[in-house]
Structures are given as structure tokens and as C-alpha cells.
């Protein structure tokens, strides 16, 4: 019989621009120590560790957890592109649920280099010149970065299908900046108007510079345990995982030809469906969501993929402000990847951290009133999608 899995400790670093962060193992140490302190347990109580990162050597996980202690536990190194952090969380949950361990650490970190969108996009806070420089790949062809082409192409396909205004995508970024202004852990806390977002240089139609997530450095961590472990350590009414699913690409991801399908839409739909069935909770019951907004087009598509609004209904959902405080469901109260930042290995665990804070009622100015049910969506192309449902009774 499957066991309930609790999240009893979370922690993260403030996200930073490339070139201004500590070493990856120092960030990992900070996040791990915060999660342990939050759980109120010593590192010696941890029986396994799942460590996620994309850029690094094969045993960076060991280098990181050794900062917490040298206890000889199994350490697993995980790489699943942008869904790496939530993949580590998924594996940690399986270990507890399956009775293989009583207490497990999921840890994600990343020290990224500049240039995810090219040099001209490295510093999002600084105004750019009127004329954009061209971006040239190794073969000499002028083009936007591949990820921007894929998600921008998906946004363009959506516009063709539904007649969506370009400004609709920009509204997502405007909302992200408002939310991030209340998050001390976010990389970009400066608010931007819709006009400023739309006036920034076009990266790939319909995406402008301020609609693309920045390269980021940071770390996040979560401590998971069984009910028995929580009781033994006098932890009452913890946040728990009510459902979790990982999907990878389906045949429909590549045929028929569709950029929307290629960037993971069907992975999202199926993972969400499985989680709703596991948890007995539907999208209308969710209070707060942290979803994968690497580009504004990704967030728009994910609203529909998760069932937060009907297919073709994302534009109305956005302009009616149903994606923020006072609307149907608060999405990305942290500011999301667009404004909080996106250190690939840490993103999924930073999302987890934010949602645990929300369900505990400790999210300060970002707090969603009365939040009891939270949904997490973390997507990596290549591909993998992890959707997780959290509850606190």
C-alpha cells in the first residue's frame, strides 16, 4: 500500500544573475541548511538525497550534499533539463511512498553562464538601444535562440488559431513583475508596464525581451518524509503531496506538425489528468499554482493544458485577471521563471518551496488568502513534464 508523503522542510536562495552568485555547492548548502532548519531535523536523519542540476560534473550532487554532512547515504544525480528539480522531487517522493526510506532530501541547484538569449539580452533591467543587434548561429544564419523559436512559434500558432492579440502575451509578463515585486527571493522585482514590455526588442514573434526568462543562478531544497517520521518528530498537519505524475513525449508531440504540441502541451494535459485522478481534486479546486513560464507563450498554453480555463479561453482568462489575486486562481505568486528567474536544476524545488509557504500561510505579501490546495507544473523539453498537487488539511 502506498504511503502518504509529507513536505516538512523547504528552503531556497535568493536568485542571482550569472557572474554574481556564489559557487553552486555554496548555494546548495544554503538551501539545504534552510530546509533542514525548517523541518527541525539534523542532516543525519536524511537517508537518501536526490540532487538535480543541468550544467556540471557527474557528481556535483555529492560535492553539494557533503557541505551538509558526510554520512555515507546514497546520493543520486539527476538531469532532466528544465524539469530537473521536480524530477528530483518525484524520485524522492517515490522513495518515501514505496517504503524505501523514511526521510529524503531533494536538492536542486544551478550556476548558469551569461548568454541564454545572447549578450544583448543578458541584463533585463537595463534599457536597450533602438536598434537590436542580430543574433547569428555557428553557421552564420540570423536567428533567435532555439527555445525562443519553439515557444514563440507555439505562441504564433496559437494566435493563428484563436486570433489572440500580441498584448495578451505581454499581460502575463506584467502580472509576473507585479507578483515578483513582493518576493525578496526574485531576481527582478522591478514592475514593468504593458507598454514597456511590448516596446522591448522582439526576440521571436510574439515574444519580446521582457517575455523571456533570464539565465539565473540559485538553489532550492525540500525534505520529504513519511507520516511515521513526522509523528516521531512531533510535526503536525504538514503539507503533503496529494498526487504527482511525470510524462514524457507522446507521438502527438511530433506528428501532426504543431509547435504547440512540440513544446509539451500534450505532456502537460496528460500529467495534469493523472494528478487530478490521483488526488480527487479538479482544477476548479486549486487555490494557487506555480507553473512553468519560461516564456509568456508557455504560461498561456499551460493555463489550458492544466484545465484552468477552456481551450481557446486563455485570452479572456488573462484580460479578466483570473490568473492573479482576486481572480479564479493565483498563478506564479513568486513571479515565476519570468521574474523570479530560472536556474534550471533549482526551478522545480523553488516552485515547491513557494507552494509550501503558501499552504502554511507564511508567504508574507504574496500570501493567497485561505490557500489549502496548490498545483505545481514544471516542464523540460526533450522532454519531461512533472505535475504535483499539494494539500494542507
Tens-level pLDDT at each residue, the chain (393 residues): 689 999 999 999 999 999 999 999 999 999 999 999 999 999 999 999 999 999 999 999 999 999 999 999 999 999 999 999 999 999 999 999 999 999 999 999 999 988 765 555 444 443 333 222 222 232 333 478 999 999 999 999 999 999 999 999 999 999 999 999 999 999 999 999 999 999 999 999 999 999 999 999 999 999 999 999 999 999 999 999 999 999 999 999 998 899 999 999 999 999 999 999 999 999 999 999 999 999 999 999 999 999 999 999 999 999 999 999 999 999 999 999 999 999 999 999 999 999 999 999 999 999 999 999 999 999 999 999 999 999 999
At 133, list the grid cell.
543587434
Backbone angles phi, psi at 347, to 5 degrees: -55, -50
The domain defined by 5-113+215-391 folds into Peroxisomal Thiolase; Chain A, domain 1 (3.40.47)
**Whether the bond into 206 is cis, omega within 30 of 0:** yes
Backbone angles phi, psi at 120, to 5 degrees: -70, -15
pTM: 0.93
Distance CA 272, CA 376 (A): 10
Distance CA 207, CA 228 (A): 49
Give 88's DSSP letter. Answer: H
Return the bridge partners of 103, or none.
225
Query: What are the extents of the domains in the chain?
Result: 5-113+215-391
Q: What is the pLDDT of residues 171-225, one digit of tens each?
A: 999 999 999 999 999 999 999 999 999 999 999 999 999 999 999 999 999 999 9
H or E segment and range at residue 317: helix 314-319
Contact 377, 392 (CB under 8 A): no
Catalytic positions are 82
Nearest residue to 50 (alpha-carbon basis) of 348, 391, 279, 357 = 348
Amino acid at each position: 500500500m502506498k504511503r502518504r508523503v509529507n513536505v516538512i522542510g523547504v528552503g531556497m536562495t535568493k536568485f542571482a544573475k550569472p557572474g554574481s552568485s556564489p559557487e553552486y555547492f555554496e548555494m546548495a548548502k544554503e538551501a539545504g541548511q534552510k530546509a533542514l532548519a525548517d523541518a527541525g531535523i539534523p542532516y543525519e536523519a536524511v537517508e537518501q538525497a536526490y540532487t538535480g542540476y543541468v550544467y556540471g560534473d557527474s557528481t556535483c550532487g555529492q560535492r553539494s550534499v557533503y557541505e551538509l554532512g558526510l554520512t555515507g547515504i546514497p546520493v543520486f544525480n539527476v538531469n532532466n533539463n528544465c524539469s530537473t528539480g521536480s524530477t528530483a522531487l518525484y524520485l524522492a517522493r517515490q522513495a518515501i511512498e514505496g517504503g524505501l526510506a523514511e526521510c529524503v532530501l531533494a536538492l536542486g541547484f544551478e550556476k548558469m553562464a551569461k548568454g541564454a538569449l545572447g549578450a544583448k539580452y543578458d541584463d533585463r533591467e537595463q534599457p536597450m538601444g533602438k536598434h537590436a543587434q542580430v543574433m547569428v548561429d555557428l553557421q552564420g544564419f540570423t536567428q533567435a535562440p532555439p527555445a525562443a523559436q519553439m515557444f514563440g512559434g507555439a505562441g504564433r500558432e496559437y494566435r493563428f488559431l484563436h486570433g489572440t492579440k500580441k498584448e495578451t502575451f505581454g499581460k502575463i509578463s506584467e502580472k509576473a513583475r507585479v507578483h515578483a515585486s513582493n518576493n525578496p527571493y526574485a531576481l527582478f522585482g522591478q514592475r514593468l508596464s504593458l507598454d514597456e514590455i511590448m516596446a522591448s526588442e522582439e526576440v521571436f514573434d510574439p515574444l519580446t525581451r521582457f517575455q523571456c526568462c533570464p539565465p539565473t543562478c540559485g538553489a532550492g531544497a525540500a525534505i520529504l518524509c513519511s507520516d511515521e517520521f513526522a509523528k516521531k518528530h512531533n510535526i503536525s498537519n504538514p503539507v503533503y503531496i496529494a498526487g504527482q505524475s511525470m510524462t514524457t513525449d507522446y507521438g502527438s508531440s511530433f506528428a501532426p506538425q504543431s509547435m504547440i504540441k512540440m513544446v509539451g502541451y500534450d505532456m502537460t494535459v496528460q500529467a495534469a489528468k493523472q494528478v487530478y485522478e490521483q488526488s480527487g481534486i479538479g482544477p476548479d479546486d486549486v487555490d494557487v499554482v506555480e507553473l512553468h513560464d519560461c516564456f509568456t507563450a508557455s504560461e498561456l498554453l499551460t493555463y489550458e493544458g492544466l484545465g484552468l480555463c477552456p481551450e481557446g479561453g486563455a485570452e479572456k482568462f488573462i484580460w479578466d485577471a483570473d490568473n492573479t489575486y482576486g481572480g479564479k486562481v493565483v498563478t506564479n505568486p513568486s513571479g515565476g521563471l519570468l521574474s523570479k528567474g530560472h536556474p534550471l536544476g533549482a526551478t522545480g524545488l523553488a516552485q515547491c518551496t513557494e507552494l509550501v509557504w503558501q499552504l502554511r500561510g507564511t508567504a508574507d505579501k504574496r500570501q493567497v488568502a485561505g490557500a489549502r490546495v496548490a498545483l505545481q507544473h514544471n516542464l523540460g523539453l526533450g522532454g519531461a513534464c512533472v505535475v504535483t498537487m499539494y494539500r494542507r488539511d
